Amino acid sequence: MDEKDKKEEEKKTEEELNEELNSFLEEEREKNKNPWLLYFNVGLHKNYYIHLLLMILVNMFCLSAVIGLIGYGMLEDIVLYLFSVILFTLLEMIFKLLTFRYLTKIVVKSFGAIHLVYLIPLYYFTICFLGKVSFGGFFKYILIFVSFLLIRLFVMHYIKRISFRGEL
């Protein structure tokens, strides 16, 4: 009987320890729950390949939606357009990783505005030049670019909220 009692006692203590540990972890999660962490997170997903695929889809969706809704962009070839969006995303990812790797302090101090230094020429070179999308003027180009960035910001925010829901 003594061995059975000891086993039951150990089982109860293990259950109590598990409950305490779970409650402690839950309290720590609640303490560290900071919505600003979403904005300073670089990726849309933990896995880099899924992040890259999501970025290609988000850029394709957002740019196509902006061009279609505003109506200023004229596509000459859909295949070149899709290729240019994929190239834009890949080059943007490379430049973003390089800036975060080597210019982290500048990125933080500028609140990410340093990314516009390479994003504007990259957008023009890949989308307008290689993708053969004509906007009909500089003002329309800027309007579509800013609209694209804003819509992409909102879409990326919601994807991050879904992707990192349990961790923040």
Q: Are residues 52 and 65 in the same domain?
A: yes
- Is-contact 72 143, C-beta < 8 A? yes
Q: Are residues 70 and 151 in the same domain?
A: yes
Q: Are residues 49 and 14 in the same domain?
A: no
Does the residue 168 lie in any domain?
no
- Is-contact 155 58, C-beta < 8 A? yes
State the average pLDDT for the chain: 78
Helices and strands of the chain, counted as H and E runs: 6, 2
Range of the domain at 103: 37-163
Does the residue 68 lie in any domain?
yes
What is the predicted pLDDT for the residue at 147?
A: 92
Predicted confidence (pLDDT) per residue in 31-45, tens digit: 555 555 545 556 666
Most confident of 72-81, 119-128, 154-163: 119-128
- The confidence band for 88, taking pLDDT boundaries of 50, 70 and 90, is very high
**E strand or H helix that includes residue 84:** helix 78-102
Q: Are residues 82 and 102 in the same domain?
A: yes
Report the number of distinct structural domains present in the chain.
2
Q: Are residues 16 and 94 in the same domain?
A: no
Please classify residue 40 by burial: count the beta carbons closer than 10 Å to its beta carbon, then call 0-12 exposed, 13-18 middle and 19+ buried.
Answer: exposed
Q: Are residues 126 and 49 in the same domain?
A: yes
Q: Are residues 27 and 97 in the same domain?
A: no
What is the predicted pLDDT for the residue at 57?
A: 93
The pTM of this model reads 0.70
Nearest of 96, 111, 105 to residue 44 by alpha carbon: 96
Does the residue 140 lie in any domain?
yes
For residue 1, is pLDDT > 60?
Answer: no
For residue 135, the one-letter residue type is F
Q: Are residues 95 and 145 in the same domain?
A: yes
Bigger pLDDT: 141 or 1?
141
What is the predicted pLDDT for the residue at 21?
A: 61
Does the residue 129 lie in any domain?
yes
What is the sign, positive or negative, of the torsion defined by CA atoms of 35, 41, 46, 50?
A: positive
Q: Are residues 143 and 89 in the same domain?
A: yes
Predicted confidence (pLDDT) per residue in 13-64, tens digit: 667 766 766 676 566 555 555 555 545 556 666 677 888 898 999 999 999 8
Q: Are residues 138 and 123 in the same domain?
A: yes
Q: Are residues 134 and 52 in the same domain?
A: yes
Q: Are residues 85 and 116 in the same domain?
A: yes
